[in-house]
Structure 1
């Protein structure tokens, strides 16, 4: 009914909706939209070409997604792909698209219309081999980024998160990986992409959250067996999305506490 894929180079997420629009599909679309927005991509493309909605009942969902994206810092571009001969496309035109919602006839056009990823000053990219020792380079990148962006309160948590994410990729995916660090308002967004399509399983809920090591207790090597538990404890938000080459695991860190 819904498929999601991400492109780390353009920081774009594509959400494709298939089937007849009804209450069940609407609830699932709302859940997936929330997940996509949590990842805070640069662009969200909503592909509705495979969806049947004869009464344009889904209109409010896409307008809400657009409004939520515009309110984020930095804003998320939200574009819709819809067949031109549908009631939904007609309703969007009457509302004054693209002022309310940019409408494209294909995903390729949506990619072309998007403004692209953040400026190079707001993102840093690192290619790493599938080795646990590569986590040291990722930690050094976080140190450089937090210093350049004047975010010292995120240094310890950021180093911990990226270290565990890189170690997880090295242990389980065993493919070369890409680390991408981007600015998100007062926070940082960390992505580790690899060539293994298997998405990680969330750690089991714990009665007591996993304790974070203090800065002076930070291990020189990633911990063994606690990777996702530590990421879950240290990140404000985190998750995973499929990509064309495999998957990406992402984490966003802000100075404030974890969102619930």
Structure 2
């Protein structure tokens, strides 16, 4: 971080802990968000953000942690816990613990969910390998009804990287509450553009529409050195579609 930033994020490479210290103001929000987003992706499983040594003069700035909580909720095998002994987060969406010990106990009580991941090159064969991964995941985790939708979504996500980002990618999938969560992380800052239904005479532009059709929700999250495109598939949607 630049030397004039008064808020620091210290990462413990051996655990889920990230200590946020100093004074967090509007000028420092972006750097904190980027650092914690990168951490949430790099290390599957919940991240503990210890805010015991943090001052937040502007209450609105606290919303960055709710934003990170929402992002983590849609990424495969991700989550965020906040440690705040002072109790400054009434009504927060993010889970708040009164002590580091309480947060660590919460992690023990809810161990890391299963997750499958693979590294793929930006080549046409990548989509086939990604489909094999999500098919295996849907069978392994007892949601075979999601296999077809997962293959459609992951094909479009991977092909988007091959056609536009042209960087190596990480494909990740995990189960959560009758859902499959899929994500593809690449190294390009270029964000996918979704403009709704493509004209019938259009030669392309339907990839994101297909994801939008099969997924309960989807989106893209910028990272300091690229982005994550993700989607959530729910078994209830497949059941409803059969009637």
Q: TM-score range by the shorter chain?
A: 0.5 to 0.7
Using CA pairs below 8 Å that are at least 6 residues apart, which structure has the higher relative contact order?
A: 1
CA deviation vs aligned residue, 1:63-117 (integer Å, no higher than 9, x gap)? x421xxxxxxxxxxx67xxxxxxxxxxxx5xxxx357x64xxxxxxx9xx96698
- Taking the aligned partners of 1:234 and 1:168, their CA distance within structure 2 comes to 17
Aligned to 1:174: 166
Equivalent pairs, count: 195
Aligned CA distance change for structure 1 residues 57 and 172 (closer, same or farther; 3 Å): same
CA RMSD of aligned residues (A): 3.8
Aligned to 1:150: 142
Give unpaired runs (5+ residues) of structure 2: 1-25, 239-243
Q: Helix, strand or coil: the match of 2:167? A: coil
1:78-117 equivalence runs, <5 A: 92=98, 97-98=99-100, 102=103
Q: Helix, strand or coil: the match of 2:237? A: coil
Aligned to 2:90: 60
Q: Helix, strand or coil: the match of 1:59? A: coil
Aligned CA distance change for structure 1 residues 253 and 247 (closer, same or farther; 3 Å): same
Aligned to 2:117: 125
- Taking the aligned partners of 2:141 and 2:226, their CA distance within structure 1 comes to 30
Q: CA deviation at 1:150?
A: 2.3
What is the TM-score with the length of structure 1 in the denominator?
A: 0.59
Give unpaired runs (5+ residues) of structure 1: 49-55, 67-77, 80-91, 103-109, 211-222
- Taking the aligned partners of 1:28 and 1:187, their CA distance within structure 2 comes to 26
Q: CA deviation at 1:232?
A: 1.4
- Taking the aligned partners of 2:56 and 2:130, their CA distance within structure 1 comes to 42
What is the TM-score with the length of structure 2 in the denominator?
A: 0.63
Q: CA deviation at 1:135?
A: 0.5
Retained in 2: the 8 A contact 1:175–1:195?
yes
